[in-house]
Structure formats: C-alpha cells, structure tokens
Amino acid sequence: MFDEFIQFVRALYDEPSAPIPLHAPVMGAPEKDAVAAAIDSTFVSSVGAFVTEFERAIADFTGAGYAVATVNGTAALHIALRVAGVQPGDLVITQSLSFIATCNAIHYCGAAPVFVDVDEETLGLSPTALQQWLERHAERRAEGAFDRASGRRLRACVPMHTLGHPAAIAAIAAVCADWGLTLVEDAAESLGSWVGDRHTGTVGRVGVFSFNGNKVITTGGGGMIVTDDEQLALRAKHLSTTAKKPHPWAFEHDEIGFNYRLPNLNAAFGVAQMSRLPGLLASKRAVASRYAQWCEDHGWAFVLEPRGARSNYWLNALRMADQATRDAFLAATNAAGVMTRPLWTPMHRLPMYATCARSPLPMTEALADTVVNVPSSARRQVG
C-alpha cells in the first residue's frame, strides 16, 4: 500500500537500499577546521572566542538584539523562563502538542503548565483557544492575571513553533499583552522561519533555539536564548554561568545559578554550520516542495507552511486519514528502512502532566493521532 511512497523517498535522496534517517546533519571540512582551531586555541570548554562569535551570528541572523548560548535547548528554555519571572507556584500556559522539554523547563522553575489547544494550520498554540481559556478561568488583578480556581498567578505563555512552522505569534502576543502574560517563544525547531519580516523567537520578550544533532544546524548539543532586552540577556548569561561574579581569580557567586554554558568546541562547530545555513534552508524548501507535489499528485495530505509565514520545513509532515492508517504507514516505512515517526505523545497523556489544568484539546489529539514525520534532511550536495 505504501510502496510507491517508499520508492519516491529513496529516489529523492538517491539511496536505493541503505536506511534513510529522519534528519541527518550536513557537515564536513568547515566544521573540522573550526573545531581544530578551537583545539589549537586551547579554549575548548565554556570560555572562548567561538562562543561569542556564534552568539553574534545567531543574533545577526534572527535580528535579535542579544543572544546567549547554552549547552542545550532545554537549558535555554529553563533560563528563559527564569529571567521572564516565572516563580515557584506560578502557572504557565503552553501547548500539549510539544516535545517534553517545554513542560520540563516549566517544572524546573517550580511552576505548572496549563494546556490549551493548537491550530490545525500552524500546529502551534491557538490564540483563540488561549483567549477562551483566559476568559473562562482567569481574573485580572492589579498585579496580573490569576487562575480563579486555584488562585495561582498566570505568569507566562510558551507557544512552540511546531516542526519549524511559525505559530500565529502576532495574535498570541496580542492576547498575552492584554492579560499581562510574558511571552516566551519556544523556537527550538524554527531557525530560519519567519512571519513577515520577523524571525521566530523575536516577537516575545525572550525566545529560544536548539542545535541538537537533528536540527537545521547543529552544534552536537546546544541552545540559544535571544532577546532585545540587554538586562535580561545579561541576567541570562549570569544564571547560565553558575551566577559567578566577575573577578580575576576569586570564585564568588551571588545566587544559585546553573552550569549551562556552551563549550567553545561546540560553538566552533556552530560557527561553521552558520556558513551553511542559507544553503541548508534552500535545500530543505526544495525537499518540501517535492513532497508537496508528490502528495498533491497522489491525493495525500502534506503539511504546508502557514499562510503569511515562511517555514524552515525542519521536519516534513504528512497527515493520515486516521490512527490505524498512520500506524500501518509507520510500520511499513520503518520496515523498509525509511525512517518515519509520529508526533510526540501529547503532554496531557503522560503520567507526570496528566493532572495539569487544560482546555478541551480536540485538535491536539487529532493531530497527534494522524500526523507523521518523514525524512527531511537537506540533500548532501548542499555546502
């Protein structure tokens, strides 16, 4: 039943028999040279020129005022929430259709997530569902918004740009501004995605990116916080470097911080990857175009970028008719050596987050049961 699709993917990647991964990095001589330069400098850990260069490159590419490198995207989310003011006992509104790092970072702050539904077009948090939940469950006080049932402070909202497709971020930002919620963008998957002339991650007060091995560019492991607020950036850097006070030799710390610094070796890799980024994005859009055309020709449903947005197409996605068809597709493709994956198990279906407050989540559950990700690597001739 799915043989024709498997043959198409093998032809797309010019791979007749070997396993085809979901998303493999493109790397080579530039990355080797950069890492060698970091080794020659003797600065291989958390201090070095490549960290500063990588931060500057991400800030320049996204248009953010400041960028702060971290050891991974989860660490970036944790620090972003802390500097956004999230405190123990707070509630943070987010989406259940997300990688678990989003909720875990909220939990690390001693806060709890509140789940609202997502939009079918963007796969990201629905501003309508957000507004409806607030109207039904929140009240405004002089110091901010509070959950009427529990009395807990509603501190922030964390939408995710799912699979690299931009959420309806302008509308979400408007709702957050109206209710006094701090907007923290989980842009982990969306480097190279835009809404109009704004890069994802730069609309809210703070945004984060991930450079895990399966992202558009990688540092092996790494993350980045972006913001236009200089004081917020300085505090993020301070917290992520164990809250150590500057001093030529003394180890003095003024609060509990975190050892979330990105090593210079990883940053060197990232600097080299940034030189590839335009080509990688162009190749990934070409791959997405091929998928879209094949799906149109064969009557399949391909997940397109939202109207008015430009997606990086980090992971291409198809939507199946039902869960049984999805499961049959996953079994057939993986048995044939073509890696495919479902979306994440929604957070409200996991035992640690099952009791969290939530709105009705019909679109979240429908998408989780029917969407599959298919091989999405940039083709090897890039770079």
Scan for tokens 């992520």, then name that residue: 240
Q: Between the CA of residue 203 and those of 41, 162, 166, 169, what are the distances in Å?
A: 37, 16, 11, 7
Q: Which two tokens stand for residue 168?
A: 């309806």
Q: Which two tokens stand for residue 72?
A: 């991974």
Domain locations in the chain as residue ranges: 3-26+276-346+369-374, 29-273
Helices 323-335 & 362-370, crossing angle to 10 degrees? 30
| Phi, psi (rounded to 5 degrees) for 297 | -65, -25
The residues near 14 (Cβ < 8 Å, ≥ 6 apart) are none
Which residues make beta-bridge pairs with 210? 223
What is the structure's pLDDT at 379? 83
Q: Centre a 10 Å sphere on the Cβ of residue 151 and count the other Cβ atoms it contains.
A: 9
- Say what the pTM is: 0.96
What is the structure's pLDDT at 383? 35
Scan for tokens 């068809």, then name that residue: 325
Domains 3-26+276-346+369-374 and 29-273 share a fold: no
The residues near 133 (Cβ < 8 Å, ≥ 6 apart) are 93, 114, 116, 359
Q: Which two tokens stand for residue 150?
A: 């529990």
List the chain pLDDT tens, one digit each, 383 residues. Answer: 799 999 999 999 999 999 999 999 999 999 999 999 999 999 998 889 999 999 999 999 999 999 999 999 999 999 999 999 999 999 999 999 999 999 999 999 999 999 999 999 999 999 999 999 999 999 999 999 999 999 999 999 999 999 999 999 999 999 999 999 999 999 999 999 999 999 999 999 999 999 999 999 999 999 999 999 999 999 999 999 999 999 988 999 999 999 999 999 999 999 999 999 999 999 999 999 999 999 999 999 999 999 999 999 999 999 999 999 999 999 999 999 999 999 999 999 999 999 999 999 999 999 999 999 999 999 864 33
Fold of 3-26+276-346+369-374: Aspartate Aminotransferase, domain 1 (3.90.1150)
What is the structure's pLDDT at 382? 37
What is the structure's pLDDT at 1? 79
Question: What value does the CA radius of gyration of the chain take, rounded to a whole number of Å?
Answer: 21
Helix (H, G, I), strand (E, B) or coil at 205: coil
The Cα 217–Cα 206 span in angstroms is 21
**E strand residue ranges, the chain:** 66-70, 91-95, 112-116, 138-141, 144-147, 153-158, 182-186, 194-195, 198-199, 206-210, 223-227, 301-302, 309-310, 316-319, 341-342, 371-374
The Cα 337–Cα 26 span in angstroms is 20
Scan for tokens 């180890």, then name that residue: 251
Picking from 234, 256, 244, the residue whose alpha carbon sits closest to that of residue 83 is 234
Measure CA of the first residue to CA of the last residue in the chain; give whole Å. 36
What is the structure's pLDDT at 335? 98
State the virtual CA torsion across 193, 195, 199, 204 in degrees, nearest 10. Answer: -120
Please state which of the four CATH numbers 3.40.640.10, 3.40.50.2000, 3.30.365.10, 3.40.50.11440 is assigned to the domain occupying 29-273.
Answer: 3.40.640.10
State the virtual CA torsion across 163, 166, 171, 175 in degrees, nearest 10. Answer: 40
Contact criterion met (CB below 8 Å) for 83 and 204 = no
Contact criterion met (CB below 8 Å) for 116 and 358 = yes
Q: Centre a 10 Å sphere on the Cβ of residue 302 and count the other Cβ atoms it contains.
A: 17
